[in-house]
Amino acid sequence: MQNNVRRLREERGLTQKELGERVGVSRQAINAIETGKFDPSIWLAHDLAQFFGASIEALFLFNEGDRK
């Protein structure tokens, strides 16, 4: 699943570690989400969307072909 996490994080001048601390996950989790190696739980997606002031749909780009 593609996402806008990296772009929004960089626009705010945050490191992966700083973003992780703000939403309660590790730097490695943020890295895995940004690189598409990990799809976050609905709760983590919600927390990230809330942090960025965006909807989940604006943050994560859903494509039916990516459905697992």
What pLDDT does 46 receive? 97
Q: What are the two backbone dihedrals, phi and then psi, of residue 61, each rounded to the nearest 5 degrees? A: -95, 105
Output phi, psi for 2, to 5 deg.
-80, 155
Residue 34 lies in a domain: yes
| Residue 10 forms part of a structural domain | yes
pTM attached to this predicted model: 0.88
> Is residue 68 domain-resident?
no
- For the stretch 17-66, pLDDT in tens is 999 999 999 999 999 999 999 999 999 999 999 999 999 999 998 776 66
pLDDT score of 1: 75
Residue ranges making up the domain that contains 56? 2-63
Overall domain count for the chain: 1
Both tokens of 30, joined, read 């943020």
Q: What is the CATH number of the domain that holds 23?
A: 1.10.260.40
